[in-house]
Structure 1
C-alpha cells in the first residue's frame, strides 16, 4: 500500500477560501509590524530626523499670505468732513501698516501742513507714523485741481512677515531670513533696494534652499533662487 501523504494547503489559500465562505481568517502578524510602518509624510519626505534644520526657525505654516486687516488699526477711518490733516494721517497709518502687512495697536500718526506761498493752490503735508516705536516719514501732496500723486514714504518690512510668507509659498515649517526684525524700506524704490537672503527647508528633498527676498512698493514679496 502506498504511504499516505498529508496535504498541506498554504495559509494564504486557506484565507482566500475562508473569505469566500465568509468564515474569516486571521494571518499572524509579527509584533511591532504595524508600528514600524512609515507614515505618509515619511514615505514622501523621509524621516524628519534625517533632515538638516540647523540654523532654521521652526514655525507654523500660515493658511494664507500675511496681510493687514484694517479693523485691527488702533483708530477708525475719520469722516469725510474731518480736517485734511486728520484724514491723511489715517491714510498714512493705513499705508504704512499695509506695507508691513500687520497692525501695531500702539501705532500713531500725525500730519503737519507745510504748504507755503510758493506752493500756490497746492497742498503739502508732512506726516510721521510711529510704528513699533520707530518713526516713518510720509509726504503727501495735492495739486490745485484736487488730485494727488502717490505719496512718498518709508515703511517697515518685518522679518516675521517675510519668513511666514516664505513658509506659505514653499509649504515648509523651517525658514530663516538674514535681516533685522524690522527694516525701513523706501516704498518708491522698494524693488531697487537690496534683497534679503533667506533659507528654507525643501519639504520634498529635505535640502536647504537659498532664495533672495525682495519687497515691492505695496509690501508684496518675491522669492528668487540665489544665483
Structure 2
C-alpha cells in the first residue's frame, strides 16, 4: 500500500488560500483599469481661450475671409482647443447673388466639410453655416471625461482627431471611465459616456462645444 502524503496543518493552508483569493477580491472591489489611459484630472473643463484663436478680420476684409474665419473659430470652440494651423477654404463666389457652398475646414490635419449659404446683395451679404462633421480631439475628450467623472483613468474609442457626423445614425463615439475609489460626482465607479455633437440645426444642445451624455 503506497505511503500517504504527510498532512499539512490547517494553519499553513489558510495563508495560501488567502493569497489565491486576493486577486479575485481586488477585482471585485472596483473596475479593471488596466485598459484605460491615465492622466491628471484637470481643474476645469477643457475650453479654448479667446487669446489662442486667430484675430477676427476687420470690417473692410473680403466677405470670403470673414466666412472662413468664422468656420475656423466655430470648429476650434467646438473642439475645445485651438490649432494655430487650422484653416478653412471655400469655393469662389459672387457676394451679389445667393450661393450654396461646401467649404472645408482642416483642423489638426484632418478635414471636415461645412455647408454655407450665402445671402447675396449689392450692398449687404450674410451667411449661415452648417457642419456636416465635427472635429473632436481624443486627448481633449478624455480630459473632459476626467473632469466630469472625477477620475484619472479614461479611454475614448476614437481616432486622435475624429470627425463625427452631425446627422444620421452612425456608430456613436464612446468613452469608458473607471476608478478604484468613490466620488461625490457619480454613484458608481465605472461607466460609459457618449460624445455628443448635436447642433442648433438638429434641435439639440447649443452647438458651441461637444458634450457628453451617459450610455445606459
Whose Rg is larger? 1
- Note if 1:212 corresponds to 2:212: no
What are structure 1's unaligned runs of at least 5 residues? 1-46
- Write out aligned runs for 1:61-80 (5 A): 61-73=41-53, 75-80=54-59
Count of matched residue pairs: 172
Match of 1:99 among 74, 78, 95: 78
Match of 1:55 among 20, 35, 43: 35
| 1:166 aligned counterpart, secondary structure | helix
Partner of 2:113: 137
- Are residues 54 and 99 of structure 1, via their aligned partners in 2, closer, same or farther at CA, if it must alter by over 3 Å? same
Tell me how far apart the structure 1 counterparts of residues 176 and 104 of structure 2 sit (CA, whole Å).
34
Tell me how far apart the structure 2 counterparts of residues 84 and 125 of structure 1 sit (CA, whole Å).
14
- How many angstroms does 1:120 deviate by? 8.3
- How many angstroms does 1:92 deviate by? 0.7
Tell me how far apart the structure 2 counterparts of residues 222 and 127 of structure 1 sit (CA, whole Å).
27
- How many angstroms does 1:147 deviate by? 4.9
- How many angstroms does 1:103 deviate by? 0.8
| 1:185 aligned counterpart, secondary structure | strand
- Scaled by the length of structure 1, the TM-score of the pair is 0.65
- How many angstroms does 1:173 deviate by? 0.9
- How many angstroms does 1:64 deviate by? 1.4
Partner of 2:9: none
- Write out aligned runs for 1:154-165 (5 A): 154-165=133-144
RMSD over aligned Cα, in angstroms? Answer: 2.9
- How many angstroms does 1:109 deviate by? 2.1
- Are residues 166 and 94 of structure 1, via their aligned partners in 2, closer, same or farther at CA, if it must alter by over 3 Å? same
Please say if residues 56 and 200 of structure 1, whose CA atoms lie closer than 8 Å, have aligned partners that are also in contact: yes
Tell me how far apart the structure 2 counterparts of residues 106 and 152 of structure 1 sit (CA, whole Å).
19
| 2:174 aligned counterpart, secondary structure | strand
| 1:184 aligned counterpart, secondary structure | strand
- How many angstroms does 1:104 deviate by? 0.9
- How many angstroms does 1:170 deviate by? 0.9
| 1:112 aligned counterpart, secondary structure | coil
Please say if residues 113 and 124 of structure 1, whose CA atoms lie closer than 8 Å, have aligned partners that are also in contact: no
Superimposed CA distance per residue, residues 160-200 of structure 1 (whole angstroms, 9 cap, x where no aligned partner): 1221111111111111122221211233x28x543223221
Partner of 2:20: none
- Are residues 195 and 105 of structure 1, via their aligned partners in 2, closer, same or farther at CA, if it must alter by over 3 Å? same
Tell me how far apart the structure 2 counterparts of residues 196 and 214 of structure 1 sit (CA, whole Å).
6
| 1:210 aligned counterpart, secondary structure | strand
Please say if residues 117 and 128 of structure 2, whose CA atoms lie closer than 8 Å, have aligned partners that are also in contact: yes
- Are residues 122 and 153 of structure 1, via their aligned partners in 2, closer, same or farther at CA, if it must alter by over 3 Å? same
